[in-house]
Amino acid sequence: MKKMRIGFVVLSIAIFAASAAFAGESLPRVLFDQGHAQQFLIEEKGELQLSKLADIIRGKGALVSSTAAPLNDQALQGITALVISGPFASLQPEEVEAVSRFIEKGGRLAAMLHIGAPLAGLLAKLDIDHSNAVLHDRKNIIDRDTNFIVKDLTTHPLFTGIEQFSLYGGWALKYGKEGAPIARTSPEAWVDLDGDKQFSKNDAVGSFAVVIAGPHGKGDFVIFGDDAIFQNRYLDGDNSKLAANLAALLTGH
């Protein structure tokens, strides 16, 4: 009888371990790239860090991790979604190709610009371009004209339950064949083309895309012209809901 009880306990432990392993394999896995000189990390709790965004994604039942290794097929194997937020160093051409293959096979990508150049190669692969200077707006200003509220939103799962979000120093995005703009500035926004740090007749004026989303092969991508949107300090009511919606898109939950 004692041997039977021991055998039952061992069997139960084995079944539990197998179930836990299966559950771990079946959970969506979201990987944050931190190998391109990123300053804002998911492990850090400071105001400009991304720990709250990581927690929001975990709240959707995902396994969240980061990597400082080069992005290649091996690093992306088994990953549901890849987040590249605020790189300061450029992705290498082979990394761009690996990320493109990842999306084409059904992966999901969210990328956020702090400065444009490090993501230029990947954006070009997705037929997207970015402005050479930050955006200013003359409407919906928060505290300075580079920090403003974005209200022109296309119906999209990313914006479920929100009518606006806040942007803090972003770049205009130009879409191509695969993507489409889903969030835009007011028509009175401008880009300082002549570099005189004031609005003048030489500057570009209009409604500029700040979020672009679209398919790429079997997968899809969403590109944000700003990375501060999801930093701990700026996850207010609307931005927090935006983060939750992004988490749902990335995890499929």
Per-residue pLDDT of the chain (253 residues; tens, 9 = 90+): 555 555 544 444 443 434 444 445 689 999 999 999 999 999 999 999 999 999 999 999 999 999 999 999 999 999 999 999 999 999 999 999 999 999 999 999 999 999 999 999 999 999 999 999 999 999 999 999 999 999 999 999 999 999 999 999 999 999 998 899 999 999 999 999 998 989 999 999 999 999 999 999 999 999 999 999 999 999 999 999 999 999 999 999 8
Question: Which residues are paired to 221 by β-bridges?
Answer: 109, 214
Among residues 210, 230, 211, which one has the least CA distance to residue 222? 211
Residue position matching structure tokens 């300053």: 39
Among residues 201, 167, 202, 159, which one has the least CA distance to residue 186? 167
Statement: the pTM of the whole predicted model exceeds 0.85: yes
How many whole angstroms separate alpha carbon 219 and alpha carbon 133? 30
- Cβ-proximal residues to 88 (8 Å cutoff; 6+ apart), any chain: 36, 37, 38, 39, 114, 115, 118
pLDDT of the residue at 164: 99
Q: What CATH architecture applies to the domain 28-251?
A: 3-Layer(aba) Sandwich (3.40)
Among residues 173, 161, 180, which one has the least CA distance to residue 226? 173
Question: Which residues are paired to 216 by β-bridges?
Answer: 219
Q: What angle do CA 12, 18, 20 make, to 5 degrees?
A: 100
Among residues 47, 86, 63, which one has the least CA distance to residue 247? 63
